[in-house]
Amino acid sequence: MAVKPVQVHQVLATLGYGDAIGNEVLGIQRVLRGAGYESRIYVQTADPRLEELTEDYRDLLEHSHTDNILIHHFSIGSRASRVAFALPDRMILVYHNITPPHYFVGVNKTLVKECYSGRRELKAYTQRCDLALGDSAFNTAELKEMGFPQTGILPVVPDFSHLEVEPDTLLAKSFDDKYTNILFVGRLIPNKCIDDLVRFFHVYRVRHNPQSRLLLVGSYNGFADYHGSVTELVRKLGTQNVHFLGHVSNEELTSLYDVSDLFLSASEHEGFCVPLIEAFYKQIPVLAFKAGAVPTTMDGGGVLYEYKDPRHVASLINAVLSDAALQAEIVSSQNAALDRLSVNNFGETLLRYVDQVRSASRVPPQQVAPDFWTQFDLFEELEELWRYRPSAFGALPKESSRSDT
């Protein structure tokens, strides 16, 4: 009987269009197919523009095999994740980071629960994976702290083709004038600290340059309350020329990078942060808060700041924008960092990890009881009570509570 060729499939909760994870998933599939592997993408949901490239995660059961390798992209807990956990395939887990849930308290109750559950669920994989990879050194360090025995880094190598389209000339004309344009690209969510950007810009505009504007590019879908609080801050400060542009097309994004003078980030938690590298690519000086994966992503390029005093940051903005020689020096450092990132051969690294898992002794398959996840969820609910509502936990009947929580 002929030996069945090894297949290497991917599974994840959602395949998004144009985002960092979606681009990486499609890039991995191209590499695997180019190396001769049969490779499919299994998801719970997908952007309508990508649905034809995916299959339902439940169909994975038909293609599962002990000799196959499953690349599981973990960014939040999901039904697809739990199905993958129970399958006999070898597993490479790719961790894209989960934002700590405290950033969303009082802003998005659902996301608080999902992030808390996701981080807790991730720990269940420590003995399930043959190899756990972070897409940055920061994420890999988190995996090690959680107790994953075999770890590595699968570096993000951004694809800039979406920035090589014809720019939206109409939008470009709206902002291409004598004003200084300060840009931020990313979702308008609490961990990215959009409110801090507004405070920094307000002081810069009042103290240094009234002919300036702040361009905020990114969706706030699911975060209407946070968006409302930021717009209210703008109103209270009396700040003008703050533009909330929402989600934009690639043509619009290209034009906004083209007309911007500085990329400013105040984010306190990033697993990688692709827009920083996009700004490098578009030759825009970057000024970013030193937190999370940002320092390793920038890798010596751009300028990092450590203190969020608005007058301090406003002075840094002014120092960069008023000195052409300094701007050139910063861009040069960013180009050098981009060159170092580009040296990484994503395909070779990925295939080396696949070979490593194929040749190593496999992690024993998990014996998952029918009520495994039911008990997991129950324990999680008890743990939440124990952590956040100790009086309610103490009032539970003894047989329902867990003294070892």
According to the model, what pLDDT value does residue 23 have?
A: 85
pLDDT > 80? residue 389: no
- Is there a common fold for 8-157+346-368 and 164-343? yes
Q: Say yes or no to pLDDT of 45 above 60.
A: yes
**What are the residue boundaries of the structural domains of the chain, listed by start?**
8-157+346-368, 164-343
Closest CA to 345 of 160, 162, 161, 156: 156
Q: Residue 368: is its pLDDT beyond 80?
A: no
CA-to-CA distance for 188 and 219, rounded, in angstroms? Answer: 6
DSSP code of residue 30: H
Structure tokens at 196: 């801090």
Q: What is the pTM of this model?
A: 0.84
Domain at 164-343: CATH code:
3.40.50.2000
**Mean pLDDT, rounded, for 360-376:** 64
Query: What pLDDT, on a 0 to 100 scale, did the predictor assign at position 405?
Result: 42
What is each CA distance from 227 to 6, 193, 221, 232, 335, in whole angstroms? 48, 11, 9, 9, 34
| pLDDT single digits (tens) 150-209 | 999 998 877 788 899 999 988 888 999 999 999 999 999 999 999 999 999 999 999 999
- pLDDT for 128 beyond 50: yes
Under DSSP, the state recorded for 147 is T
C-alpha 329/C-alpha 347 separation (Å) is 32
Residue 143 has pLDDT above 70, yes or no: yes
End-to-end CA separation in angstroms for the chain: 51
* Distance of alpha carbon 194 from alpha carbon 397, whole angstroms: 44
User: pLDDT tens digit string along 303-318?
Assistant: 999 999 999 999 999 9
pLDDT of residue 3: 46
- Give the C-alpha separation, 204 to 311, whole Å: 8
Map 58-124 to HEC letters. HHHHHHCCCCCEEEEEECCCCHHHHHHHHCCCEEEEEECCCCCHHHHCCCCHHHHHHHHHHHHHHHH
DSSP-assigned states of every residue in 332-358: HHHHHHHHHHHHS-HHHHHHHHHHHHH
Mean pLDDT of 333-350: 90
Architecture of domain 8-157+346-368: 3-Layer(aba) Sandwich (3.40)
What pLDDT is attached to residue 400? Answer: 43
Rounded to the nearest angstrom, the gap between the alpha carbon of residue 11 and the centroid of all alpha carbons in its chain is 17
| Torsion over CA: 25, 297, 160, 241 (sign) | positive
Distances (CA, A) of 336 to 5, 314, 331, 332, 341: 42, 26, 9, 6, 9
Task: Supply 14's token pair.
Answer: 């959602």
Tell me what pLDDT residue 404 has. 45
Using CA atoms, how far apart are residues 330 and 264, in angstroms rounded to an integer? 14
> What's the CA gap between 42 and 94, in Å, rounded?
15
User: What is the H or E stretch that residue 385 is in?
Assistant: helix 372-388
Instruction: Select the more confidently predicted residue: 281 or 223.
Output: 281
Phi-psi region of 273 (alpha: psi -120 to 50; beta: other; left: phi over 0): left
